[in-house]
Structure 1
Amino acid sequence: MTPPSGEDLPLPDSDELASLLTRNGLRAVYRVLFESRGEPLTMNQIRERVTALDGTSHSQTDRRVRDLRDVFDVESWQEGRTHFYLLKGRRSEPRDRRGGLSAAARARVFQAYGARCAWCGRTPKEDEVKIVVDHIVPLDLGGPDREENCQLLCEEDNHAKQARFAEHKDRAEAISKAINHDDVHLRIGELLKALKGTEVPIDLINLVAREENRGDPTRRLRELRILGWTVTVRKEREGKRTLSYYTLEHAELWPDEGPGPVVRRAENERRRSKKQRSG
């Protein structure tokens, strides 16, 4: 891997960096990533090197890596169960997180989720995992820094989610156009429209659908046919997995009342007809 030139990155001891990162802990994390920008690091390696610098508590390093992303492009990805981090450059526009969640709002999020990870269901007390407040729609994709856009994730799943988004960073514009819609059909449909003519992997559709364990994005894709859409699928075997890729061939305008009510009426009518035939 070729390391970035670093021409656009401020030096760790520079006044410019001090003006960008006002906290010593953040500057320590930056120094570690800056000095290792040709060498991807695991979170454990970052913690060890930060501690060697200034004795910063391990428990704060994860948050500081996330905070660093407000100003700098820190790429993350997953290999097996290990997550890696690499400082790539500056963000084109610093992320604005002024205000943030209040302590009361964070407490309500913890209460709403029962201090349990929204993805795997583990808890600190029962499973000895660390729980963090996660933005369901990432801030850098236009998600609001508000309570209703927050969930609880264990640290492992939070890193996995970051890595999943990082895998599709070349599609960030298409994702940002789709992921903030209220209706799941709109989220999936707008993603397909933004990437029309290209195959969209099911893992990206699942990511944008935002249904986690509560829904079935492949069913939503089938329901688009009710609206007159044509979406083709290609399946490919990779090891023990079968991967699906979807391509939008034709899209209709969204109904004025939204796709959800139209789909529900069609499904209700289908069930009534089936019941009449069987009865």
Structure 2
Amino acid sequence: MKGVTVIKCGGSTMEQLPFPFFQTLANLQRDGKPIVIVHGGGPAINAMLQKLNITPQFVDGLRITCEETMGVVEMVLGGTINKELVRRLTQAGAKAWGVSGIDGAMLTAKQTEKPLGLVGEIVQVDSSIPQSILASGYVPVIAPLAVTENGKQPLNVNADVAAGAIAAALGADRLVMVTDVPGILKPGPDGQQTLVTETDSAQIKQWIDAGVIYGGMIPKVQSAMDALAQGVQNVVICRGTADDLVSVCNGQPAGTTIRGGRDNP
């Protein structure tokens, strides 16, 4: 879908997103720019798990999701967080429509073979659902939940992975990953971390192997590379400031831009 920008809002940044961020989204919508939001909600999930005396567990930055945890993930992502974002967009003057990947089987997935429990690997994205929402004049706000192909089992999907798959299915011009860091940071000669303003898939693979990129940044950059390989023109990792958002949507530099490297078509 021409001109689409998919914005992934990390759960750790949700409370810090300023009102101007949502105002900027409303302005972009009024200007006719199609925006799709995919959100996480990790801290809110952890808080609810702790209230229920369930200990959150992770492997390589990815959540282990048991049956108990899955119920909490559905409730928090598909309910509390999703509707909070819709409310904040509405307050800023945008028209927003909240859904999860389970609605209409937008995201179908198979359970991963990794030891992560009820975590899904996306098999298919039904892009007609966000396209219909966009055509109706709304910003789709999508919770990263999926369902198995037989419809029996809900699955938790990493929000970075979901955003990349949705961006690819929509043929988005760009995928923007809003985080609590300014972009990919690389140690400089003096030991201080410096912002990488532009890179590609080949360089990222080298940095992962070297341990420069690690933890929760790994699924972000891997999702970025997957999206690039499937036709997304570029991926930007940046903070959720209004200035960054305007710059990115106007094709100007902000944060770290990842472009297709030699491994990408």
Which TM class, normalised by the smaller chain length? under 0.3
Which one has a larger percent strand, Structure 1 or Structure 2?
2
Report the structure number with the largest CA radius of gyration: 1
Which one has a larger percent helix, Structure 1 or Structure 2?
1
Q: TM-score, normalised by structure 1?
A: 0.25
Q: TM-score, normalised by structure 2?
A: 0.26
